[in-house]
Amino acid sequence: MNPKLKSALRVLAVVLAVHLVLGALVPRVAGHSLRNWGRGLTEVAFIVPSVLILIGLFDVWVPKEVVARHLGRSSGLRGILLALLLGTGAAGPIYAAFPIGVTLLEKGARLANLVIFLGAWATIKLPMLMMESAFLGTRFAMLRLVLTLPGIIACGFLVEFLMSGQAADPPPSPGDCCPATRPIPAPPTAPCRPWKPPETWPSTGTRIPAAPPARSTPSPPQAASTSATGKPISKKS
């Protein structure tokens, strides 16, 4: 089973167990909590599919190089401003920003810019600022905006600093977890040296004895040629 699905089912089981305990102790509170939970689940069911469709279109239409250039590690101040602009101009609940953030991170966005994007989405969205100005006053909204911006940026770089060690160490592969399936590294081999004649070998103070001369084996005696009468034929010089 997928680990993420297993974690979600575990959380769901815990929530249901808590509601069962509340239903036995305080039935009214448990019923009110279940109604709120059902209302929130209905809202998520209507919003998340549209967000996933937008993420799929973004994944297809926007190349990875564009995201890495404008929101990557080399983007600098431009990447920070773009992350703030994207988060401020967004609409929808904060949980709709998490799938978008995962897509940006997979396409090469910097972790600090991702945290700034999520922080801007959660705290300084334009619809939120407009409602805040209408109910609490423009001065209050502007003061909160000015004080929130440095905190969002500092939080982004702090999270990137704290996560740098974890990002540098990739998760272990299945072969690393089980010693039986771990590949055995090949032993180091010495580099091959070109062959040199003995005359060029360095002197070590000891003389290598010369090889004994090869012994010549005597050839077998040749039989004397004879004539048809059986007498040897002498060669004339």
Residue 105 sits at the vertex; the CA angle it makes with 111 and 103, to the nearest 5 degrees, is: 145
Q: Which amino acid is at 231?
A: K
Where is the domain boundary, 119, 149, 169?
169
Where is the domain boundary, 153, 169, 185?
169
Q: Which domain holds residue 17?
A: 10-54
pLDDT digits (tens), the chain, 237 positions = 677 778 878 888 888 888 788 888 888 887 888 788 788 878 777 777 877 788 788 778 888 888 888 999 888 899 999 999 998 988 778 888 888 888 899 889 999 999 999 999 999 988 888 889 989 999 999 999 999 999 999 999 999 999 886 644 444 444 444 444 555 666 666 566 666 666 666 655 555 555 556 565 655 555 555 555 555 555 554
Residue 86 included in any domain: yes
Residue 3 included in any domain: no
Secondary element (H or E) of residue 197: none
Residue 178 included in any domain: no
Residue 223 included in any domain: no
Do both 74 and 125 map to the same domain? yes
* Cα–Cα distance for residue pair 235/80, rounded to 1 Å: 113
Do both 49 and 94 map to the same domain? no
Query: Is pTM beyond 0.85 here?
Result: no
Name the domain count of the chain.
2
Do both 78 and 138 map to the same domain? yes
Do both 86 and 70 map to the same domain? yes
Do both 135 and 92 map to the same domain? yes
Residue 135 included in any domain: yes
Residue 153 included in any domain: yes
